[in-house]
Amino acid sequence: MKFRNNLSLDLASNPANSDYSASRLTEIDTWVPIGERVKCWQPTRAKNVVVEYRVRFDQSATPSGLTENLMLWNAPFPSTTPEPALPITSIGVSRNSAFGPPQYYAEVVQDLDFGTFAPPYILELTPMPAWLDAGEWHRIRITLSQTTGQVDVAQGAHPFTTVSKVALLHAPEPLGFEFSVDNEMFPGFTVPIGTADGVDVSYLDIHLEHAH
């Protein structure tokens, strides 16, 4: 998917209001019950799921309170129906402050119950390299096999560099992709938007690739 100019997803500053706000492009319809959501990307023994995109953020530093996810995930939270959330599986990059100071991470998560943190689960958050300027164009590549999740980043003279490669607990379930900027600091808790931010995207490519 290429854009005539760039895709821009933006949230304006609104310090007086903590109502849920989001700017998002997603493959998954989260307004239907969790069990009815269509998620079409799943690795096989012969082929990996590979996602590549080129992005830049309005703010080089991660804003406090915002959650900015650019990732494959299983969309496990209810929207309109009163049903329990499922454990989270996700792989990609995220800018958030849910686990401490605002940070830009490569993220690999599998089977995480956000309510109980009951094992076994994977929660690997790896800070992006110090040379990366999130406010300038950079490329992210996600490679998901039946056994590992890997996130690579490239910018300027720096070729693709592996930020995180994590062994999975088991072959992953089907996932869907989304670009999302919202003010949900962590699931169920929204905050006022103190600093406006957004993400520009110039292309997105998702495909299956023969495993080596």
Beta-strand relationship, 148-155 and 158-167: antiparallel
pLDDT digits (tens, 9 = 90+) for 173-201: 999 999 999 999 988 899 999 999 999 99
In one-letter notation, the amino acid at residue 158 is: H
Tell me how far apart the alpha carbons of residues 15 and 195 are, in angstroms, rounded to a whole number. 8
pLDDT digits (tens, 9 = 90+) for 154-174: 999 999 999 999 999 999 999
pTM for the full predicted model: 0.95
In one-letter notation, the amino acid at residue 172 is: P
In this structure, what DSSP letter does residue 175 have? Answer: B
How is the chain split into domains, by residue range? 2-40+57-136+171-205
